Amino acid sequence: MTSAREAELLARIPNQLYVNGEWVDGEDGTIEVADPATGKVLRTIANASVADGVRALDAASSIQAEWARTPARVRGEILRKSFDLLQERAEDFALLMTLEMGKPLAEARGEVAYGGEFLRWFGEEAVRITGRYNASPEGTGQMIVTHRPVGPCYLITPWNFPLAMVTRKVAPALAAGCTAIVKPATLTPLTTLALVALLEEAGLPPGVVNVITTTSTAALSERLIADPRLRKVSFTGSTPVGVQLLKQSADNVLRTSMELGGNAPFVVFADADLDAAVDGAIIAKFRNIGQACTAANRFIVHESVAAEFAVRLAEKVNAMTMGRGTEDGVTIGPLIDDKAVANTARLVTGAVAQGATLIVGGNAVAGGGSFFEPTVLDGVTPEMAVSAEEIFGPVIGIQRFSTEEEAVRLANATEYGLVGYVFTADAKRGQRMIELIDTGMMGLNAGAVSNAAGPFGGVKQSGLGREGGLEGIHEYLETKYTLMPSAFA
Ligand code: NAD
């Protein structure tokens, strides 16, 4: 049921396209945005045509040179002001995300904090885009290295973190002096629309950021990527779509950043603090109802502690409360839609049919909303689909190992390489794992790694480039090198 507070908030959220600083209707009618906990429509928003998308690129490209010349301090201050406004509106943004995406309110508040940090961090980084000036090794020349904005960027984001995935791209793009067209996921566009209204309030000039919501995603994206005015694509989403965008981007030799799927190993050694490992596992798996690229996907546990680990996990899972994320005490919300429920059910049923033991959960929940019980499976093997595929649901599958070499081999037995989690009390073993596990990020005795100050990203089929940290702004900067004859030669 939608409360009066929810109805009042939803009525305030813009529901049109944001192009060149104006709210406009889409040429292709409207899109309904639903609450995954009830299936009920929350808001009807504009559906952009390909031509609407081109108008957004017209706007982004006409103001690119002016935005690039805008002093870095001014760009940074707009981001900082946006951060401050977001803190004032934190409760609105948290509720909005819970409504459109389903995560419990406490987690949505966490995302406001995390997502907001990108505005603050890159507001600070805007004034630290430094180059260098040095003599050539021969002493005959002076070398200057500078950085300048890449140009208009197309930013495509997924539904699972409706705020953070957008700020993680928009903030460094703006800090670097790039303009942007943002295409949020059609399932969760309301947070992006609210965010761009906030950026406007913070002083962002018209045309610098444009927002397009559309069901013609593939056609619109292909058209923008083929346009010579576009200079960069930054995408967060599934690996197959990322691969397709990389192929399209090749024709115009576009800069690309790809934050793609994951299949994170969560390795527990016999010497680990088991309580800490269980707490870490709960965070690494159930945050966002298992729908995170960083979600632990394969629990690789030493055979001497696996049974005890499973029992302690099951206790925690049994204590979880499933429901609409707005309700008090709810720790696990719905999945994003019924397709996600069916996929999770397929993975669990398949594993059980192949010999895995169901310890707790295992069922879709009937009666409205897209719910699936938090689940623990033991006796999982690498061959099962629940290990080989990205689950994107609240399912823990435990595999067992006996030697350190076997643990590393199992951890690396995937085409993905986003993040790995290792729990061990042995510092040297921890150091070896950092070197041997083939991922872009690692949680060592930690079940969560995301931080605006850290470079987020993967290797192998988990992607290209990094978001956040000192590295994040360079995704939106070109390097220019100039040589001059030495004044002393
Ligand atoms: P998705 O690939 O289906 O969609 C992501 C975005 O791409 C959406 O905005 C969607 O509308 C758009 N899209 C879909 N088809 C497109 C096309 N042909 N051309 C252009 N755009 C297209 O992914 P999803 O289901 O929204 O998100 C889940 C996936 O995202 C998971 O694989 C998850 O691991 C990944 N993810 C990765 C990270 C990361 O930082 N590595 C973060 C969050 C999610």
Structure confidence by residue, pLDDT tens digits, 391-445: 999 999 999 999 999 999 999 999 999 999 999 999 999 999 999 999 999 999 9
3-state secondary structure of 272: coil
Alpha-carbon torsion 225, 226, 227, 229, what sign? positive
Residue 191 scores a pLDDT above 70: yes
H or E element: which one contains 135?
strand 132-135
Q: Are residues 124 and 205 in the same domain?
A: yes
* DSSP conformational letter for 474: G
488 within a domain of the structure (yes/no):
no
375 within a domain of the structure (yes/no):
yes
- 448 confidence band (pLDDT: 50, 70, 90): very high
Q: Are residues 342 and 414 in the same domain?
A: yes
CATH number at residue 346: 3.40.309.10
- What's the confidence (pLDDT) of residue 368? 84
Q: Are residues 251 and 268 in the same domain?
A: no
Which residues, 6 or more positions from 315, have their beta carbon under 8 angstroms from its beta carbon? none
Q: Are residues 421 and 476 in the same domain?
A: no
322 closest CA partner among 296, 297, 356, 286: 286
Q: How confident is the model over 356-368, as pLDDT tens digits? A: 999 999 999 988 8
As given in the structure block, the two tokens for residue 130 are: 């430094």
Ligand 1 centroid to Cα of residue 154, in Å, is 14
Q: Are residues 353 and 269 in the same domain?
A: yes
- Measured in degrees and rounded to the nearest 5, phi and psi for residue 238 equal -80, 155
- What's the confidence (pLDDT) of residue 323? 95
Name all residues whose Cβ lies below 6 A of ligand 1. 156-160, 165, 183, 185-186, 217-218, 221, 236-238, 241, 244-245, 259-262, 293, 390, 418, 458, 463
Q: Are residues 209 and 286 in the same domain?
A: no
Ligand 1 centroid to Cα of residue 259, in Å, is 9
Q: Are the beta carbons of 183 and 213 closer than 8 angstroms?
A: yes
- 37 confidence band (pLDDT: 50, 70, 90): very high
Q: Are the beta carbons of 70 and 149 closer than 8 angstroms?
A: no
Q: How confident is the model over 164-182, as pLDDT tens digits? A: 999 999 999 999 999 999 9
For the chain, the distance separating the N- and C-terminal CA atoms, rounded to the nearest angstrom, is 78
Maximum alpha-carbon separation in the chain:
82
Residue 216 scores a pLDDT above 80: yes
Q: What residue numbers bound the domain in which 64 lies?
A: 4-260+463-480
- Measured in degrees and rounded to the nearest 5, phi and psi for residue 267 equal -100, 125
- 487 confidence band (pLDDT: 50, 70, 90): confident
Compute the distance between CA of residue 117 and CA of residue 360 in angstroms, rounded to an integer: 37
Residue 370 scores a pLDDT above 70: yes
Q: Are residues 85 and 218 in the same domain?
A: yes
Task: Quote the distance between the C-alpha of residue 203 and its chain's center.
Answer: 26
As given in the structure block, the two tokens for residue 237 are: 């989403």
Q: Are the beta carbons of 152 and 179 closer than 8 angstroms?
A: yes
- Verify whether residue 293 is a known catalytic residue: yes
Give the residue carrying structure tokens 């566009």: 189
Q: Are the beta carbons of 154 and 224 closer than 8 angstroms?
A: yes
- Verify whether residue 178 is a known catalytic residue: no
Residue 489 scores a pLDDT above 80: no
Q: Are residues 213 and 107 in the same domain?
A: yes
Mean pLDDT rounded to a whole number for the chain: 97
- What's the confidence (pLDDT) of residue 148? 97
- What's the confidence (pLDDT) of residue 5? 97
Q: How confident is the model over 83-135, as pLDDT tens digits? A: 999 999 999 999 999 999 999 999 999 999 999 999 999 999 999 999 999 99
Ligand 1 centroid to Cα of residue 169, in Å, is 14
For residues 382-394, average pLDDT: 98
* Among protein residues, the one whose CA lies closest to atom 26 of ligand 1: 158
Give the residue carrying structure tokens 């885009």: 129
Q: How many CA atoms lie within 13 A of 324 on its CB side?
A: 18
- What's the confidence (pLDDT) of residue 1? 58
CATH number at residue 196: 3.40.605.10
Give the residue carrying structure tokens 């984001």: 157
- What's the confidence (pLDDT) of residue 146? 98
379 within a domain of the structure (yes/no):
yes
Q: How many domains does the chain have?
A: 2
For residue 182, the cross-strand partners are 155, 211
* DSSP conformational letter for 228: T
- What's the confidence (pLDDT) of residue 2? 75
Residue 293 CA: which ligand 1 atom is closest? Answer: 34
70 within a domain of the structure (yes/no):
yes
Q: How confident is the model over 251-287, as pLDDT tens digits? A: 999 999 999 999 999 999 999 999 999 999 999 999 9
15 within a domain of the structure (yes/no):
yes
Compute the distance between CA of residue 169 and CA of residue 78 in angstroms, rounded to an integer: 15
352 within a domain of the structure (yes/no):
yes
Q: Are residues 371 and 472 in the same domain?
A: no
Q: Are residues 294 and 252 in the same domain?
A: no
Compute the distance between CA of residue 120 and CA of residue 83 in angstroms, rounded to an integer: 6
Ligand 1 centroid to Cα of residue 168, in Å, is 15
Q: How confident is the model over 294-352, as pLDDT tens digits? A: 999 999 999 999 999 999 999 999 999 999 999 999 999 999 999 999 999 999 999 99
- What's the confidence (pLDDT) of residue 11? 98
- What's the confidence (pLDDT) of residue 432? 98
User: What is the torsion angle, in degrees rounded to the nearest 10, for the CA atoms of residue 341, residue 234, residue 175 and residue 199?
Assistant: -50
486 within a domain of the structure (yes/no):
no
- Written as one letter, the residue type at 380 is V
230 within a domain of the structure (yes/no):
yes
